[in-house]
Amino acid sequence: MSLFRTELRRLAKRRFARWMTAGGLLVLVLVAVGMFLSNQKIGPDQFAEARQAADRQHQEQVRWAEQERANCERAKTAGEDVDYYPADCADITAPPRESIEEQWFLPSTFNFRESFGEMLIPLAAILAMVGFVVGASFVGAEWNTGGMMNLLLWRPKRLTVLLTKLGALLTGLLALALPATAAWFGSMWLVANWRGTTEGMTSGTWQSFLITGLRGIVLALVAATLGFALASLGRHTAMALGGAIAVMVVGQVGLGILLSMAQVRFAEAWLLPTYVYAWMTKSLTLEDWQACNATYTGECNPATLDITWQHSSVLFTVGIVLFLGAALWAMRRRDIT
Amino acid sequence: MHVEAGQVHGFLGPNGSGKTTTLRTLLGLIRPDGGRMAILGHEVPGTLDQVAPQVGAIVESPQFFPHFTARDTLSLLAGAGDLPERRVDEVLELVGLRDRAGERVKTYSLGMKQRLAVASALLKNPRLLILDEPANGLDPGGIREMRTLMRNLSEAGMTVVLSSHILGEIQLICDSVTIISLGRRVAFGPVDEVLAQHSSGAVRARLEAVTDLPAAATALTRAGVRVTTNDDHLMLAGVDKPATVTRLLAEQGLYVSELAPIAVDLESVFLELTATAPVPGQHRQVDQSVRVDGAEPSVPAGGGWGA
């Protein structure tokens, strides 16, 4: 227990961990402020303004149609060859007023019920990034500076040391993620109250949001574990960061281009972000527009592939078992030099 | 290698001979491929976790997280070892870092880092202290302080194993030594015994008149003494009792003005045992030292430092 407490202290003392945490929280605050500034509450005044704006646009369309019709008739009378006008200039008419919808002119508003689920994705992404980088640095710097060797002179049980460090990291991340998620719920609720609406919330919706938030926290824990395992495996923070960059640039962008060129069906199914997104949204439907699933009306629909959060969880589990297992094996077998 | 409890033991060997590897293996950092090791009666690495709280060690150059202060560094180690926080102040005082304990380690000189490393090893108040090159980077005052510290710790009952290349220091503070070469032991025992075993028994003799040296050499050679004639003195080997030399020469009417046994020091014994003495015009490579399995050391070739 003393080792666990010490590792928590060490994590809290790490300047990099503090800066990354502060940076992540700052981004979240900026997003919340941006949401506040870019949304408005919609009331009778906003509806009236939208109606007026729609009327104005309709009138502009009417004026434009009249002008074009006049131009068309003048051109026809002059015998000019104007094939961009219809044969009968009377066909140039303005759209009916009802086709210009008033809602197009309403200001942006934050509907908590409709939009908060998506707003949990940036929260999870930032927490996962902080977790990955801090996790990698927490153990990578220890290896790199000889701190791990010093610690092993005190606590020779290698696996206990590494797993205790990981436990402290995940505990520290939970201590950040839980309040941050709660604060995110609170701040978005306030934004919705002041700059949107919270109507339509039911206990089922709340439950769904809470579970999505929980999945976001789990995603951050998975990212932290992977960063930790990679850095421990390479005994350097750069191993994890370099690995992440390599996976994103070569593994994802490069693979994406290659799969696209090879016209592989459901190419996104091979890309990691698909599974992250599916994890957060419970399921994601990929579409293959090169296939035709004819309906009874003769309509041609694309073939689809559903990626669910269960698929993602299998992928995350395999990743953790693979990389953390390798890190533990290396910790046990490799010499400490 | 056997270290008696309560002694200061010197662990010597040329670069690359395996000192640090031995210590790392002993401390569980490197997996042994055979043999038997025990610390304070406990077989290691099997029971290392039981004995580790009683062993303080620094291995090779001191390495610490550069952005932590010395106090933080020691405090975290004390926390990991369930030691009271006051112990941190005690060891900081002991190694002379009390007033600089609040500074980040990255601002420390090598000598200060070395002091911090020693402090970290002393933190547990161990029964066995293993120090690999503890005098690295220390100023002369620091080296003397370290010497005194080692002595005091030993007198207080702590066993100290010291790896160092400063052989004068080792000779001054160690009770016993182990010398290794290419991973094998070449000498072992109390310092005095090791020196005595490798003393050549040579005696330097000067006569009142330098012109008498050839006659003296002839007389001594006839008596079975191995003689090397130099410009102003004779070097005698195989002399059991120096008194026999004076008597033998006096009988010939030759009078001795100086008769001095040639003392050996640890450095010369080390160089002799490991065959690492510099040879003019040759550049010794790091692995060119004595093998105890009978193979001759390889002939130094060109190259090496500065080549």
Q: Which of B31, B63, B80 sits opposite A146 (nearest CB)?
A: B63
CA B143 to chain centre: 14
Chain B closest-CA separation from residue A124 CA (Å): 30
Domain boundary among A69, A88, A105: A105
**Which carries the bigger pLDDT value, residue A16 or residue A298?**
A16
Q: Which of B59, B69, B74, B129 to mutate to probe the A interface, most A CBs <10 Å?
A: B59
Boundaries of domain holding A215: 3-41+110-333
**Which carries the bigger pLDDT value, residue B82 or residue A252?**
B82
Confidence of residue B303 (pLDDT cuts 50, 70, 90): very low
Which range among A177-181, A246-250, A301-305, B269-273 has the greatest average pLDDT? Answer: A177-181
Q: State mean pLDDT over A280-296.
A: 82
Chain B residues touching A5 at Cβ < 8 A: 79
From B65, which residue of chain A is nearest by alpha-carbon distance? A145
From B122, which residue of chain A is nearest by alpha-carbon distance? A154
Give yes or no: residues A19 and A156 share one domain.
yes
Give yes or no: residues A206 and A324 share one domain.
yes
Q: Which of B52, B65, B72 sits opposite A156 (nearest CB)?
A: B52
Q: Do residue A149 and residue B29 have CB atoms under 8 angstroms apart?
A: yes
Give yes or no for residue B59 having a pLDDT over 90. no
Q: Are B274 and B186 in contact (CB under 8 A)?
A: yes
Chain B residues touching A330 at Cβ < 8 A: none
CA dist., res. B298 & res. B140, Å (int) = 36
Give yes or no for residue B297 having a pLDDT over 70. no
Chain A closest-CA separation from residue B98 CA (Å): 21
How much is the pLDDT for B141? 82
Give yes or no: residues A259 and A130 share one domain.
yes
pLDDT in tens, B3-57: 999 899 999 888 888 888 999 999 999 999 889 999 999 998 889 989 999 999 9
From B30, which residue of chain A is nearest by alpha-carbon distance? A335
Count residue pairs from A and B with Cβ separation < 8 A: 75
Chain A residues touching B59 at Cβ < 8 A: 149, 153
DSSP character string of A80-146: ---TTS-SSGGG--PPPGGGS-GGGGSPP-EEHHHHHHHHHHHHHHHHHHHHHHHHHHHHHHHHHHT
Give yes or no: residues A92 and A142 share one domain.
no
Confidence of residue B306 (pLDDT cuts 50, 70, 90): very low
Nearest Cα residue to B101 out of B89, B109, B111: B89
Chain A residues touching B20 at Cβ < 8 A: none
How much is the pLDDT for B144? 82
**Which carries the bigger pLDDT value, residue B38 or residue A87?**
B38
Give yes or no for residue A275 having a pLDDT over 90. yes
pLDDT in tens, B174-194: 899 998 888 888 888 898 888
DSSP character string of A28-45: HHHHHHHHHHH-----HH
Of B60-69, B126-135, B274-283, which gets the smallest average pLDDT?
B274-283
Chain A residues touching B67 at Cβ < 8 A: 14-15
Give yes or no: residues A215 and A96 share one domain.
no
Domain boundary among A105, A121, A148: A105
Q: What is the mean pLDDT of chain A?
A: 91
Q: Which of A2, A335, A336 sits opposite B80 (nearest CB)?
A: A2
Give yes or no: residues A216 and A272 share one domain.
yes
B269, burial (CB in 10 Å: exposed 0-12, middle 13-18, buried 19+): buried
Domain count, chain A: 2
Cβ burial B26-55 (10 Å sphere, 16+ → b, else e): bbbbbeeeeeebebeebebbeebeebbbeb
How much is the pLDDT for B299? 42
Q: State mean pLDDT over B209-228.
A: 89
How much is the pLDDT for A245? 81
Q: Which of B30, B53, B77 sits opposite A150 (nearest CB)?
A: B77
Give yes or no for residue B307 having a pLDDT over 70. no
Q: Which of B23, B29, B83, B85 to mutate to probe the A interface, most A CBs <10 Å?
A: B29
Chain A residues touching B26 at Cβ < 8 A: none
Cβ of residue B284 closer than 8 Å to a chain A Cβ = no
Give yes or no: residues A36 and A132 share one domain.
yes
Give yes or no: residues A139 and A286 share one domain.
yes
Give yes or no: residues A72 and A154 share one domain.
no
Q: Are B133 and B163 in contact (CB under 8 A)?
A: yes
Give yes or no: residues A10 and A81 share one domain.
no
Confidence of residue A309 (pLDDT cuts 50, 70, 90): very high
Cβ of residue A336 closer than 8 Å to a chain B Cβ = yes
Q: Which of A10, A13, A153 sits opposite B57 (nearest CB)?
A: A153
Confidence of residue A244 (pLDDT cuts 50, 70, 90): confident
Nearest Cα residue to B264 out of B192, B182, B159: B192
Domain boundary among A70, A88, A105: A105
Give yes or no: residues A228 and A148 share one domain.
yes
Give yes or no: residues A86 and A10 share one domain.
no
pLDDT in tens, A200-226: 999 999 999 999 999 999 999 999 999
Confidence of residue B287 (pLDDT cuts 50, 70, 90): low
List, as ranges, residues 122-181 from A with C-beta within 8 Å of B. Answer: 141-142, 145-147, 149-157
